[in-house]
Structure 1
Amino acid sequence: MTDATSAIDVLEQSVLGSRRPSNVAVAVVVSLGGVGFFLTSLSSFLHRDLLPVGHPSDLVWVPQGLVMGFYGVAAVLLAIYLWSVIGMDVGGGSNRFDRGAGTATITRQGFRQLIDVQIPLRDIQAVKVEVRDGLNPRRRLALRVQGRRDMPLTRVGEPMPLADLELAGAQLARFLGVPLEGV
């Protein structure tokens, strides 16, 4: 098989995981807020200003300083979790469709393990576009697989623009030679 033939027979799509700018921004804000609350609590306990703004040492330790400390510890623990998820890139991976080998390989990074699913191309019945608007919008591509639940292909989180979703779905359906549903 030549390189030109193998390039035409393989379609690989990368899937963005938790390493998104929006997730990093949230983790930074939660980290700074948690450290600020914790230092405010510590300032109240020690009667010494540990922050350059305000006078947190003037707060009464019980109940204000104690509550601030609780919020600070909770936010720092949440920040540790967020940075861990970002560091592991949970949800990131790829979709690989190989007509030569006759397989579709869906790979995602889980929280503690790599998730790797292989599907024979002959079992794929359609590419499904799901669009649901409202309070909890959903826009995703999925594979309709014989004898299985639908296999999601796009990232979780912020919805994709509708034009990009339809274009990616049409390209994949054309590559696999299956119908496109839900448009």
Structure 2
Amino acid sequence: SSQEVIDDVLKCNQAIKDVCGVEPTVFRLPGGIMTDAVRNSVKMPIISWSIDTLDWKTREAAATINAVLGEDVHVQDGDIILMHELYVSTGEASKVIIQTLTNLGFQLVTVSELIQYRSGGLIEPGKQYGHFYLSDLPPEMLQAPAEGESAESTPEETFPTDGAVPESTEESSAESLPAESTASL
């Protein structure tokens, strides 16, 4: 029921806050299974992914690497990659994936950082997001500044069009991201 979903989410959020001292601002559905009860009950943006490595299923580093870097996969700026920290093979694959993507010019960021860079933090509770591509942005966020506006706040700087993501003011690097994080490009 909707009330059970709400109670579960509130209980989980409180446990995270008790342990980490931070209240969650986004929600990832276990298994990515979206129901109307969840959509109508969860009062946070719901995060899914655009690339599922299926690392939980294959438990093979080569298969996980291929799921991200294979010939049939075209990683884009703004993709969210799903990986889990439970498996040694995922850790092994992460080393190759992170190195390859950074060599290609990608910067790996947390989902929260990606949301901030691509939407200014303006996302809707109960709405599901699986990626944050530049093409998803409203046109006004991509327009050049009006005459007299500072170039420091241009959308091109906040939302680069060259595939790069601006450096975060927080300490965050590919090496510091846990493998279970929904890695964002």
TM-score (norm 2): 0.20
TM-score, normalised via structure 1 length:
0.21
Q: Which has the larger radius of gyration?
A: 1
Between 1 and 2, higher relative CO (CA 8 Å, sep ≥ 6) is seen in: 2
